[in-house]
Amino acid sequence: MAGGLLRRRRPAVAVYFCFNAVNLAAATVQRLQEQPRDWAIAFYEPTRLEAGSRPAWVWGRGLGWLPAGPLTLLLLLLLCWLGLVRRIYIPHRREGGRLLAAILVRVPQILLLDDGLDQYRAEPRALRPEQFSPGTPLYLFSDAVAFRAPWCHHFACRELGLFPVAAAQPPPGLSVASLLIDSPGVELLWRQPGAIPRPLLLLSHPYPGKRRWPGEGDLERFPGCSAEGLIQGFPGPVAIGESFTLIIGLTRREAAWPLWVGLPATVDDHFRSMVRALCACRSATVLIEAPDSQEVTMAAELIVGDQHHGKEQESLPSRVES
């Protein structure tokens, strides 16, 4: 009865879980595109979203940011029990355990946010499609729609357009440097002589569990520059592994600018096929793949520039259709 009274007197509340920069961007674009009239609360993961990456509230009716944790999830459960929460937007169901499950069964509508690379993997890591009803809305960025995995057809995919990337420039005087985006797979370049000329700008991953580069850089994580913005406009050599930033590099970086790609042995086969196809459309790309074992040695090297130099490149749609 109390919940029904509150529903009649107060606007509905939408809850967003933003565990990484892709989730945050998806939530922001969704709010801007659809302009819902409900109030919004955003839960974030403190270890993966730095304070500076959480912008001032620009979603209209925003109630604030809360760190995801047992106490805040209990607060959310109370709001759901009172009937105030109408929608929850989540990227996955891995964190939260039984508490999150108890929350989700009390919400009228569950919607999914893009989690980065999962839409390009044959087997998603962030969720199990059978956990959700067929036709559940799934908001996805559209940078490489042609390579979207079949499991996405279980959902009602709603296109967010290209991932928003703000232009970023390297620090003054370092425009001739190399850029390394620390991510799974870049460790394969450690023993490649001359692969990454100095000076080296090293952007360590914000999540310690995904840092792979065993060496040091000449400059660590300079402020005010996003990895996606840098890889799109950085003319010097760029090295990157399995990450969402790689999608930006393969689809938006100038084809004539050097790009080194390292793929670990654990990479999904569907994702691997996509990376190979996109590398084949570029003129200055080196792809290094780990063997099936967990050893960090070079198994195969594809220097696309030599294969396609002076030849008309086959279009991406024709490669996909074939």
pLDDT of residue 4: 53
Q: Is residue 170 part of a domain?
A: no
Full-prediction pTM beyond 0.85? no
Indicate whether 194 and 94 sit together in one domain.
no
11 in the same domain as 139: yes
Asked, as a colleague might, if the bond just before 184 is cis with ω within 30 of 0, I would say no
Q: Is residue 233 part of a domain?
A: yes
Per-residue model confidence as pLDDT tens digits over 89-147: 999 876 557 888 899 999 999 999 999 999 999 999 888 899 899 999 999 999 999 99
* CA atoms of 188 and 192, how far apart (whole Å): 8
- pLDDT tens-place string over residues 174-213: 666 788 888 899 888 776 656 677 777 888 766 666 677 7
* 133 and 256 inside one domain: no
- The tens digit of pLDDT for each residue in 225-243 reads 678 888 888 888 899 999 9
Domain assignment present for 165: no
131: domain CATH number is 3.40.50
State which of 107, 127, 159 marks the end of a domain: 159
In a domain, 168, yes or no: no
In a domain, 166, yes or no: no
Show the domain range for 272: 178-321
Three state DSSP letters for the chain = CHHHHHHHHCCCEEEEEECCHHHHHHHHHHHHHHCCCCEEEEEECCCCCCHHHCCCCCCCCEEEEEECCHHHHHHHHHHHHCCCEEEEEECCCCCCHHHHHHHHCCCCEEEEECCCCHHHCCCCCCCCHHHCCCCCEEEECCCCHHHCCHHHHHCEEEECCCCCCCCCCCCCCCCCCEEEECCCCHHHHCCCCCCCCCCEEEECCCCHHHCCCCCCCCEECCCCCCHHHHHHHCCCCEEECCCHHHHHHHHHCCCCCCEEEEECCCCCHHHHHHHHHHHCCCCCEEEEECCCCCCCCCCEEEEHHHHHCCCCCCCHHHHHHC
206 token code pair? 């914000």
pLDDT digits (tens, 9 = 90+) for 2-45: 445 444 555 689 999 988 889 989 998 998 898 888 888 888 88
Residues 114 and 200 in one domain: no
Number of domains in the chain: 2
Q: Which two tokens stand for residue 177?
A: 């440097």
Q: Are residues 105 and 186 in the same domain?
A: no
Looking at the structure, tell me whether residues 186 and 254 fall in a common domain: yes
153 in the same domain as 7:
yes
Residues 154 and 183 in one domain: no
Examine the domain organization and report whether 192 and 279 are in the same domain.
yes
